[in-house]
Structure 1
């Protein structure tokens, strides 16, 4: 059997700048609740580091060649590997997805899962939530078993949809796995734009919808459980190729408010809906500046007045080993 080549993508474990004394203890704080927060953050840092060490120890026993890289150091497309293993949470997996095509599978290891008992115990002191890991198939508890199944071809990756994004007919190199947000860089500034849904052949399209709001969010099926759900959207089947869109906090005229109150106008002026696989969404931007935030705040593309943004599910799929609960 040929040696498999793996890339480990690691979430930084020193993300919380806690000052340490020379005797090894953490900085003193007078408020007990603040101390509990520091302990929680220090615990998260240690768990992440322990998880990375554990996974690397497992890999040393396997017939594989592997290289580890910190998430922030990954700046170019991933090539010449058979598997990408992310150790962190959904953020690390999302970051990896921006650098792989449809030929390299990804396995997410949730290094620090949320413990419900801990959240309940400290609910009056600190938000003790840890990592959701919605798309992560493994934890340290089952990583070796899942890895063995992959190496022995007993487990196959799933194919899930990503979002293709173009600005003025030029494709962006990054495909969204979760969602995008198109908005003014200042959250207090009104975003002005129009959009319509177009058939892939270009022969038919929906009426043009004019919006003044705090932005436009569009999600894939994988991202429908994140910000879209929090905003009142729907959870989509993980293998759906639809996109879901929602105008954020639309400013409605008195005429529109009257129509909506009486149950009319919803179909003609949809603020929340879906883009089918044979359709695309065309957005015309009418503000001086704006940003397309892709899968969070760290990856974005600048737009300006007059730009045309086109969105569809026609991007290359992502090969991913999904947790059993999503299959």
Structure 2
């Protein structure tokens, strides 16, 4: 049997946590300094732990800092990310649907710690929503994968076309279409289409921008903005207009779903704008008159998920989808 080839993608150690020149030393709260130092140590130890485990396995592997990853990942059988969801998201931008990803949450949040320091500072660590492993179960999860006892789930990604040209980056979580300056008004029009047939009325909008999320990203910014969590294996997209100005009769269309056979077509009406993909680090400029098309026509991402995610209930989501579709029908009557 051939040896597996793995890429170990690492979140960089936060130098500010230990460096007096990083600005942290100016903080007067020693508990914060101790917390930051602990995060540094825990993440460093997690990297060493994962590397030691890989040394014992029948695999070839190499480690790379995520900041050094700038080309598509090729010629490996799997990517193991050590960090949190941000590191896994970063890796997702460089793999197609042939290479699965295993996320290791190197610094999980400790509920007792958060409660203890809630009156002093935010002691939240890493959520690791998409990460199937921590150092506590990494070896067992890795063995299950190598021996074929578990298979990766297929998560939908989001594709964007600007004036019919496909952007090279697929979003795993979400995109934000907005003015470069957050205090400026974003002006755009949008509607959902199925082929050349409209599925919803045209909405002319002034707002703070437009967010569209995948099922995997529905628990992130979308949920914080008032959206709802979708079953992670859903192929629908969810969209929401941010802070619409006087939506009037179109208020029911400020938030909705895009089915897999539909597109969300946006016409940008500001002199400048950006499409932000999975956060602020990946962005593409747009200008007045640009046509943006958003859909799930994209390679899936194969991810080894925590067991509880793939068994999510779908009933409440089905109810929400029916409600959204009913609102669209009523608005067209």
Q: Taking structure 2 as the reference length, what is the TM-score of the superposition? A: 0.90
Aligned twin of 1:7 = 7
Aligned twin of 1:151 = 146
Aligned twin of 2:166 = 171
- Residue 50 of structure 1 aligns to a residue in which SS? helix
Aligned twin of 1:190 = 185
Conserved 8 A contact 1:16-1:42:
no
Aligned twin of 2:236 = 242
Conserved 8 A contact 2:206-2:244:
yes
Distance 2:124 2:175 in 1: 24
Q: In the alignment, is residue 282 of structure 1 matched against residue 276 of structure 2? A: no
Aligned twin of 1:262 = none
Conserved 8 A contact 2:156-2:296:
yes
Residue 14 of structure 1: CA displacement?
2.2
- Residue 200 of structure 2 aligns to a residue in which SS? coil
Change (3 A) 1:5 1:70: same
Distance 2:170 2:19 in 1: 38
Distance 1:17 1:114 in 2: 17
Conserved 8 A contact 2:103-2:130:
yes
Residue 18 of structure 1: CA displacement?
4.0
Distance 1:27 1:135 in 2: 30
Aligned twin of 1:69 = 64
Change (3 A) 1:152 1:189: same
Distance 2:26 2:288 in 1: 49
Aligned twin of 1:232 = 226
Please, which of 233, 250, 275 is the counterpart of residue 292 of structure 1?
275
Gaps of 5+ in 2: 311-333
Distance 1:243 1:272 in 2: 11
Aligned twin of 1:318 = 301
Please, which of 100, 108, 113 is the counterpart of residue 105 of structure 1?
100
Question: RMSD in angstroms over aligned alpha carbons?
Answer: 1.6
Q: In the alignment, is residue 203 of structure 1 matched against residue 197 of structure 2? A: yes
Residue 266 of structure 1: CA displacement?
4.5
* Paired residue total: 309
Aligned twin of 2:31 = 36
Distance 1:70 1:307 in 2: 36
Residue 38 of structure 1: CA displacement?
1.7
Gaps of 5+ in 1: 260-264
